[in-house]
Amino acid sequence: MFERRRPGAVLFDRDGTLIRDVPYNGDPRRVEPMPGAVEALCRLRRADVPVAVVTNQSGVAKGLLTPDEMDQVNARVEELLGPFDAWAICVHDDGDGCTCRKPAPGLVIRAAAVLDVSPRECVVVGDIGRDMEAARAAGARGILVPTAVTLPEEIDQAPEVAGDLADVVDRVLSDAEGPVPAVSAPWARAMGWSRW
């Protein structure tokens, strides 16, 4: 069980969590925020909680979109949702054997390192079991926000389930009795994408 206190950072899955899932999307015009995403992120930023994106983008490895197209989509995400303190992106496919592709913990560990916080101080928010498994493997707190594609067994196995992004923020900010962990290195907040 995780100690209830303000997180060092909240790490969001991208597709199906922050924006509507358009499989292998390389077109920034197709980016559409999920309901409540803008408001949820604004509340976390106002509370000085760092926010980051941890996302699998295997379409690059599959040749379905280019790294430049992916970067354009990510830039559009920031235009619509505001700037993130870090991005950790896995461009590999399942067969590549990398340590970053969720459910492996690499993206969570990388984002936490960039933000200069422990993975144990992070909350990982996602819509599928892979997100929760990555959180668990990294020692982070996982909160599942189910969508139509979330499997019933993923909901049953999730450590915590929230109704929507507003519910997620209510939970993490209501746990804020402890001191806010300091981000000791301002330079550690990544501008641009960290690709593995």
Classify residue 192: in a domain, yes or no: no
156 burial level (CB within 10 Å; 0-12, 13-18, 19+): exposed
Higher pLDDT: 7 or 2? It is 7
The rounded distance, in Å, linking the Cα atoms of 156 and 28 is: 34
Omega into 67 within 30° of 0, i.e. cis? no
What CATH number corresponds to the domain at position 108? Answer: 3.40.50.1000
- Is residue 194 pLDDT above 80, yes or no? no
Phi, psi of 71 (to 5 degrees): -60, -40
- Is residue 192 pLDDT above 50, yes or no? no
Reported as a single tens digit per residue, the pLDDT across 40-99 is 999 999 999 999 999 999 999 999 999 999 999 999 999 999 999 999 999 999 889 899
Reported as a single tens digit per residue, the pLDDT across 130-177 is 999 999 999 999 999 999 999 999 999 999 999 999 999 999 998 754
Residue 15: active-site member:
yes
pLDDT at position 52: 98
The rounded distance, in Å, linking the Cα atoms of 134 and 54 is: 10
Classify residue 20: in a domain, yes or no: yes
pTM here is 0.87
pLDDT at position 188: 34
Per the structure, the complete domain to which residue 29 belongs is given by 9-175
Classify residue 33: in a domain, yes or no: yes
Per-residue exposure over 1-10, b if at least 16 CB sit within 10 Å of its own CB, e if not: eeeeebbbbb
Which residue in this structure is represented by tokens 């109704």? 163
Classify residue 83: in a domain, yes or no: yes
pLDDT at position 185: 33
pLDDT at position 4: 56
Classify residue 194: in a domain, yes or no: no
Classify residue 59: in a domain, yes or no: yes
- Domain count for the chain: 1
Classify residue 22: in a domain, yes or no: yes
pLDDT at position 190: 38
Classify residue 94: in a domain, yes or no: yes
pLDDT at position 175: 73
Cβ pair 137, 103 in contact under 8 A: yes
The residue-averaged pLDDT of 109-129 equals 97
Catalytic residue selected from 15, 116, 127, 131:
15
